[in-house]
Amino acid sequence: MMLVETGLPIKLRPALQTDRNFIKSCWMKSFMETPQGRSMKPSIYKKFQGKLVEDLLDKSIVMILCNEEVEDEIYTFISYRKPNGVMIIDYIYTKHPYRKMGLAKLLINKIIESTEENDSVFYTHNRWKNDIPRAINGVDFIYNPYLLNMNI
């Protein structure tokens, strides 16, 4: 598939075990840049956020938009869960060269299309005030970090 707006050859695929280190590293480094991450001692952040990311990756679905021809060239990824039919996005990340191209929005749309009539999508990590839209295609996005610690 070609993303017309950018000319990028893209493919949607599930994350592989070989992608895990890249995903964790991007998640950890990018979230460390947030006000929440910067407010912690690095040793505390690395230990506890690292454990949280590992735990979330163990129970999440991770989808990747990558280069159609070179699948190791990852553009963006999303980590999400659907406990009891509730869509929870834990993290979405786009590499710097591919930002502002609509890739994250495309990826969000793809996972929303795969869900059964959700009125809302919850997200648990918010890097910056305007990172996540209030709604996409009539689906409301609601920030709720408490879902990280709940077994729903």
Give yes or no for residue 12 having a pLDDT over 80.
yes
Residue 150 pLDDT: 58
CATH number for the 2-149 domain, one of 3.40.50.280, 2.30.110.10, 3.40.630.30, 3.40.630.10?
3.40.630.30
- Which residue ranges make up each domain of the chain? 2-149
* DSSP-assigned beta bridge partners for residue 142: 122
Q: What is the mean pLDDT of residues 90-111?
A: 87
Whole-number Å distance between alpha carbons of 140 and 150:
21
Whole-number Å distance between alpha carbons of 49 and 32:
9
Q: What is the mean pLDDT of residues 106-131?
A: 66
pTM check: above 0.75? yes
pLDDT in tens, 30-71: 888 878 788 889 999 889 889 989 998 998 999 999 999 999
